[in-house]
Chains A and B, each alone.
Chain A
Amino acid sequence: MAAASTSSFIPLKPRPTPRGLSTIAVLKLGAPLSFSFRRPVLAPARLRISCVAKPETVEKVAKVVKKQLALPAETLVTGDSKFAALGADSLDTVEIVMGLEEEFDISVEEDSAQSIATVQDAADLIEELVRKKCA
């Protein structure tokens, strides 16, 4: 690229393109893109990727639950599984939430904690808190 000129008018220079994006486009079109014609589309300034995938979260929650309730590893625990039905009383539930706070590095308000009835409830709450953290 040409060095920047010292004049007040800076001619348009080709912007360095993000790797992969326009390279592919160039290859596809068979001709170099004109940068005055099309700028590569960058993601919006605020990245909106989700930090944790749903099935993974449910699995991690299930693991914490099984550990707290001392359930055999092969116990089937799914999103629908209710904490109470698995044998969790209110002390277990609070301990599970504490375990989830450690696992996901989040902080759960006590009133939210008490409203968790199923594994899915916990996973959803975690994802929301993690999303807020990552944002």
Chain B
Amino acid sequence: HRRLPAVIPTPPVSASPFPNPKSQYCCLSRNFSAALTPLLPVQLPSRMETHLWYVVPDEVKSAPLLSKYMELLPQSERDHVLGFRGDQLQKSALLARTLVRTTIARYQVDGHLDPRSLRFKRNIHGKPEVEWETKDGFCPPPLQFNISHTSSLVACGVTMNSLIGIDVEEKRRRTKNNILAFAKRYFTAHEVEHLNAIPDSELQQQEFIKLWTLKEAYVKALGKGFSSSPFNTFTIRVNTAAQESFCLVKARKEASSGIAVETLDSPQNLTNNWQFALLELMGSHYVAICLERQETGGAGKAFPIKLTARKTIPSVEDELVSGTNAVVTIGGSVTQF
């Protein structure tokens, strides 16, 4: 197999006997010539929780580490990674597979922690799922996950039971086509109006990206493939009270602005089955999360999404970032833990 290019190795960090609040992997030296450090287990999300894990590819510079990640993958996934053109694309593809395998392994669903042993399959519409081993008496948990990546961010969302779709995008992503022309072609009339009403072209570009990620997240949560839900068959609505807050940065811990989806075939009923969160990550990326609603808090009002966000370098370090500047809720009803 082709070797990933040599990169500048990270300098070794001296082991510390005291747990570093930043890292759950205390007392580890970054000596990657040995096998990968065993993964530390993590508690499964509760039924009402969503876990968000992400990796910043630019922060993963060690060639030996990347090689070790490659070794976690079955041959078919390695081939898939190597099929991407160029180092950057290969790296983010590798990190995506690594993130999902190591993260799910850490939940220790089937009692052991080996990311290599996980098998994945696709449902009939092509959505990736874990294929749990059906040993005697083993009832696979309803663990749900979804991945999204760009060259600059790799993210994985995990829930227990709720269908989940996530999409990430750079805030500054530019379309080659004119935004309104694009929206008229692919979005719904309401969404075109929403974009058209924004006089500042920079803000309009950002709104477009937000809408795009929310729409992607919805389709990915549905899990039925894009052809079953073309983008012009459903509208993402932001409720008017929240219109302003949608464009502004709100308090970190709690934010409440309604985002809802309305399908064109039932315009009178906002589709209540799905709830959304829109986050600004590290000031540079939008992350849209769409979840199947599990329970409502009386009169159809949804509970806020309980979110735990962790930045990670698989097998090296985790950093709990929810409630910090790194994760800002800019849409949807979210409580960060």
| Residues of chain A having any CB pair with chain B under 8 Å | 67-68, 75, 82, 84-87, 89-91, 94-95, 98-99, 109-111, 114-115
Contact = CB atoms under 8 A, between A and B. Distances in A.
5 contacts: A87-B86, A99-B176, A110-B227, A110-B230, A111-B226
A120 B265 CA distance: 34
B177 interface: yes
A110 B233 CA distance: 10
B85 interface: yes
Contact of B89 (A87, A94, A111): A87
A95 B175 contact: yes
A94 B182 CA distance: 9
Contacts of A99: 176-177
A89 B182 CA distance: 16
Given A68-B176, A95-B182, A98-B177, A111 B230 contact: yes
Interface in B169-185: 169, 173, 175-177, 182, 185
Given A87-B86, A99-B177, 17 more contacts: A67-B176, A75-B85, A82-B83, A84-B84, A85-B89, A87-B84, A87-B151, A89-B150, A90-B216, A90-B226, A94-B182, A95-B175, A95-B176, A98-B177, A98-B182, A110-B230, A114-B225
B177 A110 contact: no
Interface of B: 83-86, 89, 150-151, 169, 173, 175-177, 182, 185-186, 212, 216, 225-227, 230-232
A91 B85 contact: no
Interface of A is mostly: helix
A114 B84 CA distance: 19
Contacts of A110: 186, 226-227, 230-232
Nearest to A110: B230
Nearest to A82: B83
B177 A87 contact: no
Given A98-B182, A98-B185, A110-B186, A91 B227 contact: no
A75 B186 CA distance: 29
A91 B173 contact: yes
Nearest to B216: A90
A115 B86 CA distance: 24
A95 B85 contact: no
A111 B232 CA distance: 11
Q: Which of A87, A91, A94, A114 has the most CB of B within 10 A?
A: A91
Given A95-B175, A95-B182, A98-B182, A114 B83 contact: no
A86 B86 CA distance: 8
Nearest to B182: A98
A122 to B, nearest CB: 16
A30 B39 CA distance: 90
A109 B231 CA distance: 11
B226 A114 contact: yes
Contacts of A115: 227
Nearest to A115: B227
Given A85-B85, A99-B176, A91 B230 contact: no
Contacts of A114: 225-227, 230
Contacts of A86: 85
A99 B232 CA distance: 19
Kindly list the 3 A-B residue pairs having the minimum CB-CB distance in the complex, ordered from nearest: A111-B227, A110-B230, A114-B226
A95 B226 contact: no
Contacts of B212: 91
